[in-house]
Amino acid sequence: MIQFNGLGWRKENLPQRRRCKCLRKWTKAALSSRDPERAGGGHHSNRGQAKLGATGPGIAIFQGKTEVLLLVPHYRQSSWYDPMFHVMSPPDVRNQWDIYCSADVSTNHPSDKDLQRADGYGHIVLSASEKGTRIEDVFERSPIRIMFPRSGHCAMEEAVLINTAGGIAGGDRLEYSVAALPGASIAVTSQAAEKVYRALNEPAHVTTRLKARESSRLAWLPQETIIFNWARFHRMTEIELFSGSQLLALEWLVLGRAAHGEIVVGGSISDSWRVKKDGRLIWADSFRVTDEIFAHLNRKALLSSCNTIATLIYFGPDLDERLEFLREILSSLGCHCAVTLVAGLIVARFAAKESSDLKLALRSFLQQVEPEFGSTPFRVPKMWSC
């Protein structure tokens, strides 16, 4: 709680209040009706309390003895002698707040570049040891955090990525890097579904770099990414494979918040993959939607009635046999799905109307894959059940 002495009535604040057309009428009326002496320029103080942020970001309420004033901060740069607040009464707020805000936005043209944005980075290097997989190197920069949950004395099996910002906003830049050295085995997932909020004009950039060295086993199995209406999201997944390694990588998108009945009608989405084997590009893929395309996504040639989609790739031994196995289990998943073999890489696509349906399908997929692929990290992550 912050004390303001005479903020509403001191003479030095009058020019600032009168400068605003929305406040001019109220200022004169309030001064004359409340106290003629103050209206004439007296220096009396009205002591009260202001509770910052009571009605939203950047808004303060001033509680006096007989009336309430609202303090609205400027959104323009002010000099040292320029008062920083307008003072308004609730009736005037109701009538003039929309005019005040619309004028402010139109003159300043707010941009994501003008706001505080995240620049996070998370890096993991894992190797093999006699007791199982061990951590060689970890680096994290806020808002990214990396955890390695274990139960008892069991070997490390999972790494969990956490975005402490609570979501991704326009202009954010996040980068994840995971390297599995020879003999290492690890599954990497996320703490919760990632949320991409509405952006003003700048896209958020997320880059994932995975490297699987010889005889390593790496599973990249994050939870879903939820795209809010008018979000702008660009993601690049770069994978470097080496002969003798195994990798399973998944990324999935959810368009809109189903619980809110949200429909994504605008924004920008770019989701790209680049996969190299022994330094040579073997597969490249991009999913891109821009403002004018969202209105047509319900066409059968595009997403039809599906609001959530996923891409999963697998690299490892016995690809032909495992391709046939995967085709056999697809009919049991309860969603739209297909799988193929491209340049020594198994690529599977999934689509469903609801994210819950797709999550059940992916859980069933991984549960059936685990016994077929043997003792590997290619299983349902424990964090998916939390």
Tens digit of each residue's pLDDT (9 = 90 or more) over 53-106: 333 444 444 444 444 444 444 444 444 434 444 444 444 444 444 444 444 444
* Helix (H/G/I), strand (E/B), else coil: 258: helix
State residue 108's pLDDT score: 61
Higher pLDDT, 19 or 284: 284
Query: How many H-runs (helices) and E-runs (strands) does the chain carry?
Result: 6, 22
Domain parsing of the chain, residue ranges: 2-109, 116-385
Given a cut of 90, whether residue 131 has pLDDT beyond it is no
Tens digit of each residue's pLDDT (9 = 90 or more) over 255-302: 999 888 899 999 999 999 999 999 999 999 999 999 889 999 999 999
Token representation of residue 49: 């309390």
* Helix (H/G/I), strand (E/B), else coil: 365: helix
Task: Name the average pLDDT for the chain.
Answer: 80
**For the residues 343-351, what does the mean pLDDT come to?**
97
**For the residues 234-256, what does the mean pLDDT come to?**
97
The per-residue DSSP string of 273-331 comes to: EEEEETTEEEEEEEEEE-GGGGGGTTSTTTTTT--EEEEEEEE-S-HHHHHHHHHHHGG
Rounded Cα distance between 205 and 207, Å, is: 7
Rounded Cα distance between 216 and 189, Å, is: 17
How many CA atoms lie less than 13 Å away from 12 in the CB half-sphere? 8
Choose among 372, 371, 315, 364: nearest CA to 380: 364
State residue 115's pLDDT score: 83
Higher pLDDT, 344 or 24: 344
214 φψ region: left (φ > 0), alpha (ψ -120 to 50), beta (else): beta
